[in-house]
Amino acid sequence: MTEPAQPLPEDLYRTIRLIRRFEERAIDLVRSGDIASGIHPCIGQEAVAAGLGAALRRDDIVMANHRGHGHLLAKGSDPGRLFAELAGRLTGVARGRGGSFHPSDFSVGVFGSTGTVGHGAPMAAGVAWALARAGSDRVAVSIFGDGAVSQGALLESLNLAALWKVPVLFVCENNGYATTLPVETAVAGTITGRAAAFGIPAGTFDGMDPETVFTAAAEGVARARAGEGPTFLEFSTYRFDGHHTFEHVTRLRYRDEDEVAKWRSRDPLGIQGGRILAGQRQRIDEEIEALLDAAVQFALDSPRLRPAEASDYLYATGLQVRGGVADYA
Protein backbone atom coordinates (compact mmCIF):
# COMPACT_ATOMS: atom_id res chain seq x y z
CA MET A 1 0.00 0.00 0.00
CA THR A 2 1.19 3.52 -0.73
CA GLU A 3 1.83 5.98 2.04
CA PRO A 4 -0.89 8.59 2.63
CA ALA A 5 -0.04 11.92 0.98
CA GLN A 6 0.10 15.20 2.87
CA PRO A 7 -3.60 15.81 3.55
CA LEU A 8 -5.31 18.80 1.97
CA PRO A 9 -6.39 21.46 4.48
CA GLU A 10 -10.03 20.89 3.60
CA ASP A 11 -9.72 17.16 4.24
CA LEU A 12 -8.44 17.72 7.76
CA TYR A 13 -11.18 20.28 8.33
CA ARG A 14 -13.78 17.83 7.06
CA THR A 15 -12.65 15.14 9.53
CA ILE A 16 -12.66 17.57 12.45
CA ARG A 17 -16.09 18.86 11.50
CA LEU A 18 -17.38 15.32 11.11
CA ILE A 19 -16.17 14.32 14.57
CA ARG A 20 -17.40 17.53 16.20
CA ARG A 21 -20.90 17.27 14.79
CA PHE A 22 -21.01 13.52 15.33
CA GLU A 23 -20.32 14.07 19.02
CA GLU A 24 -22.82 16.91 19.34
CA ARG A 25 -25.48 14.78 17.75
CA ALA A 26 -24.53 11.83 19.93
CA ILE A 27 -25.08 14.07 22.97
CA ASP A 28 -28.54 14.91 21.59
CA LEU A 29 -29.20 11.17 21.30
CA VAL A 30 -28.09 10.67 24.90
CA ARG A 31 -30.57 13.36 25.96
CA SER A 32 -33.36 11.81 23.93
CA GLY A 33 -32.63 8.41 25.43
CA ASP A 34 -31.70 6.80 22.13
CA ILE A 35 -28.18 6.25 23.43
CA ALA A 36 -28.35 4.56 26.82
CA SER A 37 -26.19 5.69 29.74
CA GLY A 38 -24.03 8.23 27.92
CA ILE A 39 -20.78 8.85 26.09
CA HIS A 40 -17.31 10.26 26.70
CA PRO A 41 -17.31 13.16 24.23
CA CYS A 42 -14.06 14.08 22.49
CA ILE A 43 -15.21 17.58 21.59
CA GLY A 44 -12.11 19.79 21.55
CA GLN A 45 -9.73 16.89 20.90
CA GLU A 46 -10.65 16.22 17.26
CA ALA A 47 -7.38 17.45 15.78
CA VAL A 48 -5.44 14.54 17.24
CA ALA A 49 -7.73 11.97 15.65
CA ALA A 50 -7.82 13.86 12.35
CA GLY A 51 -4.06 14.33 12.03
CA LEU A 52 -3.28 10.82 13.17
CA GLY A 53 -5.91 9.24 10.95
CA ALA A 54 -4.47 11.09 7.96
CA ALA A 55 -1.02 9.65 8.66
CA LEU A 56 -2.22 6.04 8.74
CA ARG A 57 -2.98 3.62 5.95
CA ARG A 58 -6.27 1.82 5.94
CA ASP A 59 -4.51 -1.45 6.78
CA ASP A 60 -2.78 -0.02 9.86
CA ILE A 61 -4.28 -0.91 13.21
CA VAL A 62 -5.62 1.31 15.99
CA MET A 63 -6.40 0.40 19.59
CA ALA A 64 -8.55 3.24 20.84
CA ASN A 65 -9.96 4.05 24.26
CA HIS A 66 -13.18 5.06 25.98
CA ARG A 67 -13.10 8.50 24.31
CA GLY A 68 -12.76 6.83 20.97
CA HIS A 69 -15.52 7.90 18.54
CA GLY A 70 -13.17 10.34 16.84
CA HIS A 71 -10.50 7.70 16.39
CA LEU A 72 -12.94 5.40 14.62
CA LEU A 73 -14.31 8.15 12.38
CA ALA A 74 -10.82 9.35 11.47
CA LYS A 75 -9.86 5.77 10.61
CA GLY A 76 -12.80 5.60 8.24
CA SER A 77 -15.72 4.13 10.18
CA ASP A 78 -19.12 4.71 8.72
CA PRO A 79 -20.94 7.30 10.90
CA GLY A 80 -24.27 5.52 10.54
CA ARG A 81 -22.85 2.23 11.75
CA LEU A 82 -21.09 4.03 14.60
CA PHE A 83 -24.30 5.78 15.70
CA ALA A 84 -26.00 2.40 15.47
CA GLU A 85 -23.32 0.93 17.73
CA LEU A 86 -23.84 3.70 20.29
CA ALA A 87 -27.58 3.08 20.16
CA GLY A 88 -27.05 -0.67 20.62
CA ARG A 89 -28.40 -1.73 17.25
CA LEU A 90 -27.64 -4.81 15.22
CA THR A 91 -26.20 -2.75 12.36
CA GLY A 92 -23.53 -1.23 14.62
CA VAL A 93 -19.83 -1.63 13.88
CA ALA A 94 -19.68 -4.28 16.61
CA ARG A 95 -23.29 -5.44 16.18
CA GLY A 96 -24.32 -3.35 19.18
CA ARG A 97 -22.14 -5.31 21.62
CA GLY A 98 -19.37 -2.74 22.11
CA GLY A 99 -21.36 0.45 22.57
CA SER A 100 -19.75 3.83 23.07
CA PHE A 101 -17.35 2.41 25.63
CA HIS A 102 -15.83 -0.45 23.63
CA PRO A 103 -16.37 0.12 19.94
CA SER A 104 -14.25 -1.77 17.47
CA ASP A 105 -14.51 -1.71 13.69
CA PHE A 106 -12.55 -4.49 12.10
CA SER A 107 -13.52 -3.27 8.63
CA VAL A 108 -11.23 -0.25 9.12
CA GLY A 109 -8.60 -1.73 11.45
CA VAL A 110 -9.83 -0.52 14.81
CA PHE A 111 -9.30 -3.62 16.93
CA GLY A 112 -10.92 -2.37 20.09
CA SER A 113 -11.27 0.14 22.86
CA THR A 114 -10.54 -1.19 26.31
CA GLY A 115 -12.03 0.31 29.44
CA THR A 116 -8.99 -0.56 31.55
CA VAL A 117 -7.06 2.65 31.13
CA GLY A 118 -3.66 2.12 29.52
CA HIS A 119 -4.11 -1.58 28.87
CA GLY A 120 -4.63 -1.13 25.16
CA ALA A 121 -0.94 -0.20 24.87
CA PRO A 122 0.47 -3.71 25.38
CA MET A 123 -2.23 -5.06 23.08
CA ALA A 124 -1.24 -2.63 20.35
CA ALA A 125 2.38 -3.67 20.87
CA GLY A 126 1.34 -7.30 20.48
CA VAL A 127 -0.59 -6.53 17.31
CA ALA A 128 2.35 -4.62 15.85
CA TRP A 129 4.84 -7.35 16.80
CA ALA A 130 2.66 -9.97 15.11
CA LEU A 131 2.30 -7.88 11.95
CA ALA A 132 6.06 -7.31 11.71
CA ARG A 133 6.75 -10.98 12.37
CA ALA A 134 4.54 -11.82 9.39
CA GLY A 135 6.77 -9.64 7.22
CA SER A 136 4.31 -6.80 6.78
CA ASP A 137 5.13 -3.09 7.15
CA ARG A 138 1.81 -2.31 8.82
CA VAL A 139 1.95 -0.44 12.09
CA ALA A 140 -0.27 -0.32 15.15
CA VAL A 141 -1.21 2.68 17.25
CA SER A 142 -2.28 2.83 20.86
CA ILE A 143 -4.20 5.95 21.84
CA PHE A 144 -4.61 6.81 25.50
CA GLY A 145 -4.98 9.81 27.78
CA ASP A 146 -2.81 11.38 30.43
CA GLY A 147 -4.57 9.20 32.98
CA ALA A 148 -2.92 6.12 31.47
CA VAL A 149 0.71 7.10 31.79
CA SER A 150 1.26 5.72 35.28
CA GLN A 151 -0.46 2.40 34.63
CA GLY A 152 1.95 -0.47 35.05
CA ALA A 153 0.74 -2.33 31.97
CA LEU A 154 1.42 0.72 29.79
CA LEU A 155 4.92 1.16 31.18
CA GLU A 156 5.53 -2.57 30.70
CA SER A 157 4.47 -2.21 27.08
CA LEU A 158 7.01 0.59 26.54
CA ASN A 159 9.71 -1.77 27.76
CA LEU A 160 8.60 -4.67 25.54
CA ALA A 161 8.16 -2.46 22.47
CA ALA A 162 11.58 -0.89 22.87
CA LEU A 163 13.31 -4.20 23.61
CA TRP A 164 11.85 -5.88 20.56
CA LYS A 165 11.76 -2.82 18.24
CA VAL A 166 8.04 -3.16 17.75
CA PRO A 167 6.46 -0.95 15.04
CA VAL A 168 3.99 0.75 17.33
CA LEU A 169 3.05 4.36 18.01
CA PHE A 170 2.13 5.32 21.54
CA VAL A 171 -0.12 8.36 21.30
CA CYS A 172 -0.98 10.25 24.47
CA GLU A 173 -3.84 12.72 24.25
CA ASN A 174 -2.98 14.88 27.24
CA ASN A 175 -6.19 16.79 27.88
CA GLY A 176 -5.06 17.88 31.33
CA TYR A 177 -7.42 15.74 33.38
CA ALA A 178 -7.91 12.10 34.24
CA THR A 179 -11.66 12.40 34.80
CA THR A 180 -11.35 15.16 37.45
CA LEU A 181 -7.70 14.75 38.43
CA PRO A 182 -5.37 17.47 37.07
CA VAL A 183 -2.34 16.05 35.34
CA GLU A 184 0.02 18.15 37.50
CA THR A 185 -1.20 16.31 40.58
CA ALA A 186 -1.00 12.88 38.95
CA VAL A 187 2.22 12.65 36.98
CA ALA A 188 5.64 12.77 38.61
CA GLY A 189 8.35 13.71 36.15
CA THR A 190 7.06 14.16 32.62
CA ILE A 191 4.95 12.09 30.27
CA THR A 192 7.57 11.93 27.53
CA GLY A 193 10.23 11.26 30.16
CA ARG A 194 8.60 7.88 30.69
CA ALA A 195 9.23 6.95 27.07
CA ALA A 196 12.72 8.41 27.11
CA ALA A 197 13.57 6.17 30.06
CA PHE A 198 13.06 3.18 27.77
CA GLY A 199 15.05 4.76 24.94
CA ILE A 200 11.93 5.51 22.90
CA PRO A 201 12.01 8.73 20.86
CA ALA A 202 9.35 11.01 22.30
CA GLY A 203 8.05 14.51 21.77
CA THR A 204 5.31 16.86 22.88
CA PHE A 205 3.26 18.61 20.20
CA ASP A 206 0.32 20.95 19.80
CA GLY A 207 -2.70 18.69 19.72
CA MET A 208 -5.09 21.44 18.65
CA ASP A 209 -3.46 21.79 15.22
CA PRO A 210 -4.16 18.82 12.94
CA GLU A 211 -1.31 19.66 10.58
CA THR A 212 1.18 19.54 13.45
CA VAL A 213 -0.33 16.24 14.54
CA PHE A 214 -0.09 14.84 11.03
CA THR A 215 3.58 15.77 10.68
CA ALA A 216 4.55 14.26 14.03
CA ALA A 217 2.51 11.12 13.44
CA ALA A 218 3.83 10.64 9.90
CA GLU A 219 7.40 10.72 11.24
CA GLY A 220 6.59 8.10 13.85
CA VAL A 221 4.84 5.93 11.27
CA ALA A 222 7.84 6.20 8.95
CA ARG A 223 10.19 5.12 11.74
CA ALA A 224 7.97 2.15 12.53
CA ARG A 225 7.70 1.09 8.90
CA ALA A 226 11.46 1.33 8.52
CA GLY A 227 11.90 -1.15 11.36
CA GLU A 228 13.27 1.45 13.77
CA GLY A 229 10.83 0.61 16.54
CA PRO A 230 8.33 2.55 18.63
CA THR A 231 7.72 6.29 18.91
CA PHE A 232 5.90 8.09 21.71
CA LEU A 233 3.87 11.19 20.88
CA GLU A 234 2.28 13.44 23.48
CA PHE A 235 -0.34 15.85 22.14
CA SER A 236 -1.47 18.75 24.30
CA THR A 237 -5.19 19.06 23.90
CA TYR A 238 -8.36 19.80 25.84
CA ARG A 239 -11.85 18.48 26.05
CA PHE A 240 -14.44 21.22 25.93
CA ASP A 241 -17.17 18.99 27.34
CA GLY A 242 -17.26 16.80 30.45
CA HIS A 243 -15.37 13.60 31.05
CA HIS A 244 -18.68 11.88 30.39
CA THR A 245 -22.16 13.14 29.64
CA PHE A 246 -23.10 12.38 33.26
CA GLU A 247 -21.30 15.64 34.05
CA HIS A 248 -24.19 17.46 32.37
CA VAL A 249 -26.19 16.26 35.37
CA THR A 250 -23.62 16.21 38.16
CA ARG A 251 -22.00 19.51 37.16
CA LEU A 252 -18.72 18.63 38.81
CA ARG A 253 -16.48 21.69 38.96
CA TYR A 254 -12.80 21.03 38.57
CA ARG A 255 -11.83 23.48 35.81
CA ASP A 256 -12.19 27.25 35.99
CA GLU A 257 -13.92 29.17 33.25
CA ASP A 258 -10.82 31.12 32.27
CA GLU A 259 -9.00 27.91 31.55
CA VAL A 260 -11.83 26.54 29.44
CA ALA A 261 -12.11 29.86 27.58
CA LYS A 262 -8.37 29.92 26.90
CA TRP A 263 -8.49 26.51 25.29
CA ARG A 264 -11.71 27.25 23.42
CA SER A 265 -9.89 30.12 21.76
CA ARG A 266 -7.71 27.44 20.18
CA ASP A 267 -10.61 25.34 18.90
CA PRO A 268 -9.24 23.01 16.20
CA LEU A 269 -12.36 23.71 14.17
CA GLY A 270 -11.37 27.38 14.07
CA ILE A 271 -7.68 26.69 13.50
CA GLN A 272 -8.24 24.41 10.54
CA GLY A 273 -11.35 26.30 9.37
CA GLY A 274 -9.17 29.39 9.07
CA ARG A 275 -6.99 27.63 6.53
CA ILE A 276 -9.72 27.18 3.94
CA LEU A 277 -12.03 29.52 2.12
CA ALA A 278 -15.32 30.46 3.75
CA GLY A 279 -17.33 29.07 0.86
CA GLN A 280 -15.42 25.82 1.01
CA ARG A 281 -16.05 25.60 4.72
CA GLN A 282 -19.74 26.18 4.27
CA ARG A 283 -19.99 23.48 1.62
CA ILE A 284 -18.22 20.98 3.87
CA ASP A 285 -20.44 21.88 6.82
CA GLU A 286 -23.54 21.30 4.73
CA GLU A 287 -22.16 18.08 3.37
CA ILE A 288 -21.47 16.84 6.93
CA GLU A 289 -24.95 17.77 8.12
CA ALA A 290 -26.53 15.81 5.30
CA LEU A 291 -24.24 12.87 6.00
CA LEU A 292 -25.09 12.89 9.70
CA ASP A 293 -28.82 13.34 9.09
CA ALA A 294 -28.75 10.15 7.09
CA ALA A 295 -26.47 8.45 9.59
CA VAL A 296 -28.73 9.17 12.56
CA GLN A 297 -31.74 8.06 10.59
CA PHE A 298 -29.98 4.83 9.62
CA ALA A 299 -29.17 4.11 13.26
CA LEU A 300 -32.62 4.85 14.60
CA ASP A 301 -34.26 2.80 11.83
CA SER A 302 -32.01 -0.18 12.56
CA PRO A 303 -33.34 -3.21 14.41
CA ARG A 304 -32.87 -3.45 18.15
CA LEU A 305 -31.30 -6.52 19.68
CA ARG A 306 -33.52 -9.28 21.02
CA PRO A 307 -33.08 -10.79 24.50
CA ALA A 308 -32.60 -14.21 22.90
CA GLU A 309 -29.40 -12.89 21.31
CA ALA A 310 -27.76 -12.00 24.65
CA SER A 311 -25.24 -14.84 24.52
CA ASP A 312 -24.44 -14.65 20.82
CA TYR A 313 -20.71 -14.12 20.17
CA LEU A 314 -19.86 -14.83 23.82
CA TYR A 315 -17.38 -17.39 22.50
CA ALA A 316 -15.70 -17.41 19.12
CA THR A 317 -16.34 -21.15 18.99
CA GLY A 318 -20.07 -20.63 19.46
CA LEU A 319 -20.08 -22.43 22.80
CA GLN A 320 -23.55 -22.32 24.32
CA VAL A 321 -23.62 -21.71 28.05
CA ARG A 322 -26.11 -22.47 30.79
CA GLY A 323 -28.72 -19.83 31.48
CA GLY A 324 -29.25 -18.12 34.80
CA VAL A 325 -31.97 -20.50 35.90
CA ALA A 326 -32.00 -24.28 36.08
CA ASP A 327 -33.65 -26.18 33.27
CA TYR A 328 -36.49 -28.19 34.78
CA ALA A 329 -37.49 -29.84 31.54
Residues that bind other proteins (CB under 8 A): 61, 63, 92-98, 102, 104, 106, 111-112, 114, 116, 119, 121-131, 133-134, 140, 152-153, 156-157, 159-160, 163, 312-317, 319, 321-322, 326-327
What Cα–Cα distance (Å) separates residue 257 from each residue in 90, 184, 207, 249?
Answer: 41, 18, 20, 18
Residue 62 host element (H or E): strand 61-64
Query: Judged by CB, which is closer to other proteins: 109, or 210?
Result: 109
Query: Judged by CB, which is closer to other proteins: 78, or 209?
Result: 78
As measured in angstroms, the least distance from the Cβ of 24 to other proteins is 26
Give the whole-angstrom CA distance, residue 177 versus residue 184. 9
List phi, psi (to 5°) of 110. -100, 110
As measured in angstroms, the least distance from the Cβ of 209 to other proteins is 30
Terminal CA-CA length for the chain: 57
As measured in angstroms, the least distance from the Cβ of 14 to other proteins is 27
As measured in angstroms, the least distance from the Cβ of 144 to other proteins is 13
Q: Which amino acid is at 204?
A: T
As measured in angstroms, the least distance from the Cβ of 227 to other proteins is 14
Query: Judged by CB, which is closer to other proteins: 134, or 278?
Result: 134
As measured in angstroms, the least distance from the Cβ of 316 to other proteins is 3
Query: Judged by CB, which is closer to other proteins: 254, or 315?
Result: 315
Give the whole-angstrom CA distance, residue 275 versus residue 17. 14
Residues in the chain, how many? 329
Which residues 6+ apart lie within 8 Å of 326 measured at CB? Answer: none
**CA 244 from centre of chain:** 15
**CA 31 from centre of chain:** 22
Query: Judged by CB, which is closer to other proteins: 256, or 328?
Result: 328
Query: Judged by CB, which is closer to other proteins: 185, or 317?
Result: 317
